[in-house]
């Protein structure tokens, strides 16, 4: 398969998906591309947020129907590649992310950091692109 499009999309559930979408946009720079509301008007059945350099994350309400696996909020861990970890770290902290591991250079050549979103999911950002 040859493509420039990301084919791995982490999926996370939130108690308050609307607040999560706002936070992920403000703190990290994700862009919402689709938000499908549930019939009750409060929950989100499905949302997709694009990571501008490629790929993205899918999310929805804990109470959404149609998911055959039990994903609880605060249990997600996502790694995202960024070319600008210093600026992103400052943006995330300013937006209210909780620092888990501050900016640091790794012995394998990556520079990055780890934070938690308001519902406890862990987000790690770094320059390491994999082998």
pLDDT in tens, 25-46: 999 999 999 999 988 888 999 9
Looking at the structure of the chain, the number of domains it has is 1
Domain range spanning residue 86?
11-62+74-126
- Tell me the percentage of the chain whose pLDDT exceeds 90: 67
- Domain-located, residue 21: yes
Q: Taking all residues of the chain, what is their mean pLDDT, rounded to a whole number?
A: 88
Nearest-5° angle of CA 70, CA 76, CA 78? Answer: 140
68 in a structural domain: no
CATH of the domain at 107: 3.10.180.10
Judge whether residue 53 has pLDDT over 70.
yes
* 44 part of a folded domain: yes
Kindly state whether residue 1 falls inside one of the protein's structural domains. no
* pLDDT score of 64: 56
Q: How far apart are CA 14 and CA 118, in angstroms?
A: 10
Q: Is residue 4 part of a domain?
A: no
- Tell me the whole-structure pTM to 2 decimals: 0.85
User: Cα 4 from chain centroid?
Assistant: 20
């Amino acid at each position: 398969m040859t493509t420039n499009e990301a084919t791995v999309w982490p999926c996370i559930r939130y108690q308050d998906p609307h607040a999560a979408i706002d936070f992920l946009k403000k703190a990290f720079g994700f862009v919402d591309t689709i938000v499908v509301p549930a019939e009750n008007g409060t929950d989100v059945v499905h949302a997709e947020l694009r990571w501008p350099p490629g790929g993205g994350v899918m999310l929805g309400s804990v109470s959404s129907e149609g998911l055959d696996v039990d994903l609880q909020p605060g249990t997600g861990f996502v790694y995202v590649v960024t070319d600008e970890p210093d600026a992103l770290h400052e943006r995330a902290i300013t937006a209210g992310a909780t620092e888990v591991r501050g900016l640091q250079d790794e012995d394998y050549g990556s520079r990055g950091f780890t934070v938690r979103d308001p519902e406890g999911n862990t987000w790690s950002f770094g320059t390491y692109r994999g082998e």
